[in-house]
Structure 1
Amino acid sequence: MRRKLAMFGLACCLLLVWLGPAALAAGTAPASAAPERYVIFGDSLAIGFEPGLTTASVPYGYSDRVYEQALLRGRITMANYGIGGLTSSGLKTMMQAVAEGRKIKGSDIQPSLPDPRADQVVADTAKIKADIAAATFITITIGGNDIGAKIINELKDMDDAQLDTFASQWMSTYTDNVTSVLQNLFAINPKARIYIADQYSPVPAVMKAEYPKAQKLKNGFTATLKKIEQSFRDKKYEITAVPVAEAFVGNEGTYSHIAVRDIHPNQSGYDKIAEIFAKSIWGEYRNGLIRTEPITVVVAGRTVQTPHVPALLQGSTFVPLREYAEALGATVDWNAATQTATVRYSGNSVALTIDSATIVVGGVPKTIGELPAPHAHESAGETKTYIPLRLMAEGLGFDVQYVPQSSTAYINP
């Protein structure tokens, strides 16, 4: 019952996140700046589930962090189709329905799914297929639910022969299912780059009898995934087996909630998984951003070096216009007589006047609605023009994506 309540809380939380705006604003981007597309499939790790989540919680998993890593590199959008409790068989059935364009419900892909969001996630198979077709890269976490939590108790009584038989059956089923999933994904989008993680051990090192057996299963899983990877690479598909498992060896207590008998990663664990995915995708994991309050604003992959930090004014986040506009390559002209700043970028222009609810986009006046007007704001001993962050995108083609989990806005040209 506790698990069902936790999953219900997660569902409500994610629904609130998904129904909110994915971006603070988006102008009309130049055709050359079309965003990449990141798509996620898998189980509760894809969601970012942790024990104790409530309707007030915002999950912050590995996929959210990978999304932020991508935003540090340019424009990107994200679609997460993770389902809590999903097995590789369930994912196989889901992908078959998507490939065939069939309408499905959660119970059609896997009986008794604990995630109450399942019907919502798979409701629009046409949209899922379109997202796959548009995907630049796809990440997958799947396989842990194939064996379930009961394996922790079963391992103790398994001898070597029984362990080998269990591992062989598990890997045979997993191979068939994942091969089918990948075939359908590549049939929809043969140019997609797919990254699929192996599985860390669900057993803590303090369980002396079970731990070595769990490590053997983990090693077999990793080896099996590498074989699958090679079979698709031989056919010239871009697939990478992401080596998550090894980082958890000896660190299960550090990277997961295993101390409270829950195998899901904690925040350190999700960050480590994201790091390994990012290094597989881009060869590096960028961290160490300079954080500012009440919000961090990252412009073209970096925090602007200025004493004039974002400010919370009239309940909205404001940024100093000149510093952030020029960081993106825009020019700013100031008319002291009219108290108007005119920003120009890529053939577009926006004129903003202090304390005016009207901006001029490409010569055309436009009201800013409920947004507070640009302010003259005292900052670090200077009077600066501060504007609502959202107006950075108006008419200039800038893309502004906000990640609430890290209170960070990413602005890309």
Structure 2
Amino acid sequence: MKRLFSLWLACFLVFACLASSVSAASAAPERYVVFGDSIAIGFEPGMTVDSIPYGYSDRVYEQALLHGRATAANYGIGGLTSAGLKTMLQAVADGKKIKGSDLQPSLPDPRADQVVSDTAKIKADIAAATLITITIGGNDIGSKIITDLQNMNDADLDAFAATWMKTYTDNVTSTLQNIFTINKNVRVYIADQYSPVPAFMKAEYAKAQKLKDLFTATLKQIEQSFTKNNFKVTAVPVAAAFVGSEGTFTHIAEKDIHPNQSGYEKIAELFAKSIWGDYRDDLAKTDPITVVVGGRTIATPHLPALIGDSTFVPLREYSEALGATVDWNDETKTATVRYNGSSVALTLDSTTISVNGTAKQIETAAPHAHDSNGEMKTYIPLRLMAEGLGFDVQYVQQSRTAFINS
């Protein structure tokens, strides 16, 4: 998976119990592409360029992996406005090379040049995409919106809102047109804009709610203008969920309007429910990792073991969870795991395994006997075994979860 999820300085990286369960999650891969601003990145105050965020898009990617194979590419840029996104997508559609400064002046994201460095790749990702999510529009109103609201009377507010919504509508419409020119069948989901203004700021709160409601209605109109022409655009109602929870879902107490982890979790939930109709919030952050196969978390008292940078799992429990069969040769201490015509043979304490009859050197620790919960179990390298049998293995560092799909 391509991870452009490193960070903005001021402002990705990243077993069903029966074989039939694994197969059920093996539909065509979800190819997920992310566009937008710092919310698309997952920014929170205190992050640096070396931080690994865990934003809404990372969580949406996890939800995609719960439904089957998936890839993700994140082209979020901190500080991006809807005009900047429009410029970016126009350059992508035209095959034009650009730099971050071509999108808008003084972008605060030091990765901007890197993100847009290969517009041909961005275009190819859009062309292959099955799913695109977008968060954009907050930077259109500027970082001083709370102060500005204090000085606005009703007429000023109406004039400001009308200008903002016209600009936003024009820019998002152009962005969507370019996306659908590249890929007319992709499903696009766009979030409305939540208000971070806390309720105790009564006068500003009422004005911010008015702007929030107008934004939601405007985005709904954009959605309808595309769906009537059979393009798949869905407005995701994020803003309503933040009402009354501004202090719970954002860093506003630190004078920062970005979502906190609870806020990103809520945004991800709303996107996932719009996309798939459900949201799984039971992904445990266990030590060392959680393993999910075909959308189901393995339930066993014999937990994975992290050895170096590799995950080892008990042979029989995880092989059978994949729907594979296990033959054990006690004389040679060799286990042969078979699934759907593929086989992996692993010998205790040997750094060589056999994948479909071809010997491969193990660069990790060897399969070995391991004391687990009072029992001696044969532990094997998870990725080598699963990929040798033809499964796809994706690891999400932020939640310490390995997703395995057929």
**TM-score using structure 2 length:** 0.93
Name which of 377, 381, 386 aligns with 2:379: 386
Q: Aligned ranges for residues 130-149 of structure 1 at < 5 Å?
A: 130-149=124-143
Counterpart contact for 2:338–2:389, Cα < 8 Å: yes
Q: Which is further off, 338-347 or 38-47?
A: 338-347
How far residue 290 of structure 1 moved from its aligned partner, in angstroms, is 4.6
Q: Which is further off, 197-206 or 44-53?
A: 197-206
- 1:8 is the counterpart of 2:5: no
Name which of 210, 221, 243 aligns with 2:215: 221
- Quote the Cα distance in structure 2 between the aligned partners of 1:150 and 1:126: 36
Name which of 314, 324, 335 aligns with 2:329: 335
Residue 38 of structure 1 aligns with which residue?
32
Deviations 1:343-381 (A, max 9, x none): 11121111010111111111121211x211111112233
- Quote the Cα distance in structure 2 between the aligned partners of 1:293 and 1:354: 25
Name which of 160, 167, 183 aligns with 1:173: 167
Name which of 394, 398, 402 aligns with 1:401: 394
- Quote the Cα distance in structure 2 between the aligned partners of 1:55 and 1:136: 29
Residue 114 of structure 1 aligns with which residue?
108
Q: How many residue pairs were aligned?
A: 390
Q: Aligned ranges for residues 228-267 of structure 1 at < 5 Å?
A: 228-267=222-261
Name which of 18, 41, 50 aligns with 1:47: 41
Residue 21 of structure 1 aligns with which residue?
none
The one-letter amino acid of 2:8's match is M
The one-letter amino acid of 2:360's match is K
Counterpart contact for 1:107–1:113, Cα < 8 Å: yes
Q: Aligned ranges for residues 70-89 of structure 1 at < 5 Å?
A: 70-89=64-83
**TM-score using structure 1 length:** 0.91
- Quote the Cα distance in structure 1 between the aligned partners of 2:165 and 2:28: 40
Residue 23 of structure 1 aligns with which residue?
none
Q: Any runs of at least 4 consecutive aligned residues in structure 1 with deviations exceeding 4 A, and if so which?
A: none
The one-letter amino acid of 1:102's match is K
Name which of 200, 206, 209 aligns with 2:203: 209
Counterpart contact for 1:375–1:386, Cα < 8 Å: yes
The one-letter amino acid of 1:265's match is P
Residue 20 of structure 2 aligns with which residue?
none
Q: What secondary structure is seen at the aligned counterpart in 2 of 1:341?
A: strand
How far residue 314 of structure 1 moved from its aligned partner, in angstroms, is 5.2
Q: Provide the alpha-carbon RMSD of the alignment.
A: 1.7
The one-letter amino acid of 2:97's match is K
Q: What secondary structure is seen at the aligned counterpart in 2 of 1:51?
A: coil
Name which of 345, 358, 377 aligns with 2:339: 345
How far residue 312 of structure 1 moved from its aligned partner, in angstroms, is 2.7
How far residue 333 of structure 1 moved from its aligned partner, in angstroms, is 1.1
Deviations 1:291-336 (A, max 9, x none): 5321111111111121111113356321112211211211111111
Q: Which is further off, 288-297 or 57-66?
A: 288-297
How far residue 9 of structure 1 moved from its aligned partner, in angstroms, is 7.6
Q: What secondary structure is seen at the aligned counterpart in 1 of 2:364?
A: coil
How far residue 102 of structure 1 moved from its aligned partner, in angstroms, is 0.5
Consecutive unaligned residues of structure 1, counting only runs of 5 or more, are 1-5, 19-28
How far residue 54 of structure 1 moved from its aligned partner, in angstroms, is 3.1
Name which of 102, 119, 138 aligns with 1:125: 119
How far residue 154 of structure 1 moved from its aligned partner, in angstroms, is 1.2
Counterpart contact for 2:346–2:352, Cα < 8 Å: yes
Residue 279 of structure 2 aligns with which residue?
285
How far residue 251 of structure 1 moved from its aligned partner, in angstroms, is 0.7
- Quote the Cα distance in structure 2 between the aligned partners of 1:234 and 1:34: 27
Q: What secondary structure is seen at the aligned counterpart in 1 of 2:39?
A: helix
- Quote the Cα distance in structure 2 between the aligned partners of 1:234 and 1:33: 28
Name which of 265, 274, 280 aligns with 1:271: 265
Counterpart contact for 2:60–2:268, Cα < 8 Å: yes
Counterpart contact for 2:10–2:109, Cα < 8 Å: no
Residue 355 of structure 2 aligns with which residue?
361
- 1:308 is the counterpart of 2:295: no
Q: What secondary structure is seen at the aligned counterpart in 2 of 1:7?
A: coil
The one-letter amino acid of 2:369's match is A
Counterpart contact for 1:289–1:302, Cα < 8 Å: no
- Quote the Cα distance in structure 2 between the aligned partners of 1:259 and 1:292: 30
Q: What secondary structure is seen at the aligned counterpart in 1 of 2:40?
A: helix
Residue 18 of structure 2 aligns with which residue?
none
